[in-house]
Structure 1
Amino acid sequence: MKSDNNKRKLHPRNQHRERYDFDQLTQSSATLVQYVRLNEYGDASIDFSNPQAVKALNQALLKQFYGVSVWDIPKQYLCPPIPGRADYLHYLADLLSELNDGQAPIGKCVRVLDIGVGANMIYPLIGNREYGWHFVGADIEVKALQNAQQLIDANGLSNAIELRLQTSPPSIFKDMIRQDDAFALTMCNPPFHGSLEEAQAGTKRKWQGLAKQSAKHTTDKKSTILNFGGQSAELYCEGGEEVFVTTMINESKQFSAQCLWFTTLVSKAANLPGIYRALKKANALKVNTIEMAQGQKQSRIVAWTFLNPSQQRAWVTMHLTKHLL
């Protein structure tokens, strides 16, 4: 299989570091066949600006690499890039390995809270198949959770993934972390933009980057919303990424003893100074910033804990010992 230099930036355990093998992928999912064509270099590929083609690719990847037999999302919901989503999970496993003699812990005793699980439910699907972790997926969208529940049922994952509806959208952890909960990790892919207009501007840049020149993919307001994919809660919130993450940090302190590590993706490096200030104000005891890259896209994970080293060891003994030993 040919290598892909851009994919070499992915985590060493990421299964998608090589160029996609479309012969194998089309065997996993016949739906993908209709979208595969030769690119200008004579290599098999798909049109990544075609949402249906990307969804078919995701279905094939999830089936071939993770044994997910059924996966689909409603129209206008985000269709996530599988390699980058897998990277987040692998780096979280590394974070836990620091308390496990350098080995990534596996098994159901590792419980993870996914804030904004979405209709695609991609993190719980990959995280459960790769590490056997159990997940709670939280979201404010009823329709998203309905689709996610269908995926749970279709793939026989009702014992591994639980969904919770956040009925108070301004809140993030409230009511999602219950009194008897203990999570090794929380994770989140926060809304990137600060407004609908900003999201639409980002869409236009996306199409330009994909070199979409044909008239059928114009970037007028109607087609922008349709082609971009993503509900409002997935794409933007008032104040954008920095405000969302700052709110998350402020709330996390209330649940400091129930979570070993809180984490979030941060797409905009310019937001980091404000996020670090919020973490300092919240008295986070340790903050890790983990750089990630997929192709030309740069991102990072910010992780924080309110537990000192001895408290972390005590937390592991109480909640993970059976798993880690």
Structure 2
Amino acid sequence: MNVSLSLTQYPFVLHPRNIHNSPYNFEALIKAYPALAPFVQKNQHDNLTIDFSVNEAVIALNRALLILHYRVGYWEIPTNYLCPPIPGRADYIHHISDMLDAGNHKEGIVGLDIGVGANCIYPILGAQIYGWRMVGADIDKAAVAAAQSNVDLTPKLETKIQIRHQSNNAHIFHGIIKEGEYYHFTMCNPPFHASKEEAEKGTLRKLKNLHGIKSLAHNFGGQANELWCNGGESLFIKRMIKESVGFKNQVGWFTTLVSKKEHLPKIYKQLQKLKAQYSTVTMEQGNKQSRFVAWNFKP
């Protein structure tokens, strides 16, 4: 079983500019990507949907969404890599746009996605929604190759997106942000968990809630660097904050998702220790709430 972590059907109440606030138009999606059709079925309310526990169905839906709404020629991810929920990922992009507009940044925006992953979803959305130029960085060579392939599948993206390999797992920004470069923002969806066992428990909990599945027979969607790291999310973000000081003049806003709100006090303490200005942006998604922390070191 190759289980995707993109398990929840939208729409939720998303950012006002998020086009996924309306129910999925499966007729239009199938027209854009006919291979989606075998996965579409009616639920108990006689509405069209897919089985979100079937990895192939979620990948087909994502591909259709990207083709229909984001003008992507094609999109692919290797087996066992994360398949992201596109509506929620688009929300992060829209909220960053709001933050940049508040600073009167209108054109020529350049962003950096730390941990771009094989799916390359944030650079694709940033480029296609707002015309931003994006750099995506990852420590996983296979993910870097897959992300570059996804850029190459849509020729217009080649001028907007660069993919870079982080060769040193002790670094986050070092080796990626080059001398003379300036980024209006950085973004990151950090590893959630502190271990493989913790990650598997979290995935199994979602699956049991969805379909009563009681075990994971094989690998699930997500590689080690995507799902867990030593110390988990909190330590990774604290490392990112500490390293960001060295790039304070090359980045307008550093941002990162924080999946577990109980980690916020530790993150705030690190930001205060380093005398950063910071804020937390809450993103409402129906019954689910997510958030990202943004900071800089401007006087």
Q: TM-score range by the shorter chain?
A: over 0.9
1:71 maps to amino acid: W
| Contact map agreement 2:114 2:137 (CA 8 A) in 1 | yes
Indicate the percent of aligned positions where both proteins have the same amino acid: 47
2:284 maps to amino acid: A
Q: Which has the larger displacement, 238-247 or 288-297?
A: 288-297
Cα RMSD for the two superposed structures = 1.4
2:138 maps to amino acid: D
Say if 2:181 is the partner of 1:181.
yes
Give the C-alpha shift of residue 253 in structure 1.
Answer: 0.4
Give the C-alpha shift of residue 7 in structure 1.
Answer: 3.4
The two structures have a TM-score, normalised by structure 2, of: 0.94
Give me the whole-angstrom Cα distance separating, in 2, the residues matched to 1:140 and 1:64: 31
Q: Which has the larger displacement, 81-90 or 172-181?
A: 172-181
Which 4+ residue blocks in structure 1 deviate beyond 6 angstroms?
none
Give the C-alpha shift of residue 83 in structure 1.
Answer: 0.4
Give the C-alpha shift of residue 57 in structure 1.
Answer: 0.3
Give the C-alpha shift of residue 283 in structure 1.
Answer: 1.2
Give me the whole-angstrom Cα distance separating, in 2, the residues matched to 1:65 and 1:85: 14
Give the C-alpha shift of residue 294 in structure 1.
Answer: 2.2
Say if 2:282 is the partner of 1:291.
yes
Say if 2:101 is the partner of 1:97.
yes
CA distance 1:27–1:212, change in 2 (3 Å): farther
Give the aligned partner of residue 20 of structure 1.
Answer: 24
Give me the whole-angstrom Cα distance separating, in 2, the residues matched to 1:69 and 1:159: 15
| Contact map agreement 1:192 1:235 (CA 8 A) in 2 | yes
Cα offsets for 1:187-214 (capped at 9, x unmatched)? 000000010010010011010121245x
| Contact map agreement 1:6 1:296 (CA 8 A) in 2 | no
Who wins on radius of gyration, i.e. which is larger? 1
* Count of residue correspondences: 290
| Contact map agreement 1:49 1:212 (CA 8 A) in 2 | no
Give the C-alpha shift of residue 8 in structure 1.
Answer: 4.8
Give me the whole-angstrom Cα distance separating, in 2, the residues matched to 1:39 and 1:301: 34
2:290 maps to amino acid: S
Give me the whole-angstrom Cα distance separating, in 2, the residues matched to 1:212 and 1:65: 33
Give me the whole-angstrom Cα distance separating, in 2, the residues matched to 1:248 and 1:237: 13
Give me the whole-angstrom Cα distance separating, in 2, the residues matched to 1:178 and 1:6: 38
Give the aligned partner of residue 296 of structure 2.
Answer: 305
| Contact map agreement 1:136 1:163 (CA 8 A) in 2 | yes
1:302 maps to amino acid: V
Aligned pairs for 1:1-325 (under 5 A) are: 7-100=11-104, 105=106, 107=107, 109-156=108-155, 157-213=157-213, 218-220=214-216, 222-223=217-218, 226=219, 228-284=220-276, 286-308=277-299
| Contact map agreement 1:267 1:298 (CA 8 A) in 2 | no
